[in-house]
Structure 1
Amino acid sequence: MKDVTDMQQAVKIYKALGEPTRLKIAFLLKEESDQCCSVLSEKLNSVAISTLSHHLKQMAESGLLTFRKEGTFIYYSLDVEVAKKYAPYLMT
């Protein structure tokens, strides 16, 4: 049986990716990492910045995204190792 911590993280990641916009965000960040909210918003067209920010926070809390702060901007990237382990579909 899998480690309980692994299972808990898997559940968080699957919940995060269960929302179509978040899955799109994951694919966008797989293709081009280190993106800020405004750039992702342009690529997603119909998603408000506040909604996008909420999605990114959920994904970061699940462990699927890493981020760095630079001034007032936050740049997000897909954590490739986590994606390979828990969501290999993203990596195909």
Structure 2
Amino acid sequence: MDEEQLVKVYKALGEPTRLKLVKALVSAPQMACQDIAEKLDIQANSTLTHHLKLLTDCGLLVVEKEGTYRYYSLQKDVLKKYAPTLISE
């Protein structure tokens, strides 16, 4: 097990907003930034960007760019490895 990634994943999921974000993406194949902001009621783009960057850096999220839009989806294999209970909820 990669201890560095383990620490990053648990640190990222230890923050309530990021945990809600991951839970929201469990039921959706992918979401755009605007959809995530609306679902989680995040007003500041910089706040959302910060959370998305941390989740992407630890390997939990993948970003797909399409024009000016960015779509985020879960790396389910990483989630299954480090936090399998989130998938079964």
Please classify the TM superposition score into its range, dividing by the shorter chain length.
Answer: over 0.9
- Scaled by the length of structure 2, what TM-score is found? 0.92
Gap regions ≥5 residues in structure 2:
none
Gap regions ≥5 residues in structure 1:
none
Counterpart CA distance in 2 for 1:64 and 1:27 is 12
CA contact (8 A) 2:42 2:48 kept: no
Kindly report structure 1 stretches of 4+ aligned residues shifted beyond 6 Å: none
2:67 alignment partner in structure 1: 71
Identity of aligned residues (%): 52
CA contact (8 A) 2:25 2:31 kept: yes
Q: Among residues 38, 41, 48, which one is paired with 2:44 in the alignment? A: 48
CA contact (8 A) 1:67 1:74 kept: yes
Q: Among residues 54, 60, 63, which one is paired with 1:58 in the alignment? A: 54
CA contact (8 A) 1:38 1:49 kept: no
Counterpart CA distance in 2 for 1:55 and 1:33 is 19
Equivalent position amino acid for 2:57 in 1: E
- Scaled by the length of structure 1, what TM-score is found? 0.89
Bigger Cα Rg? 1
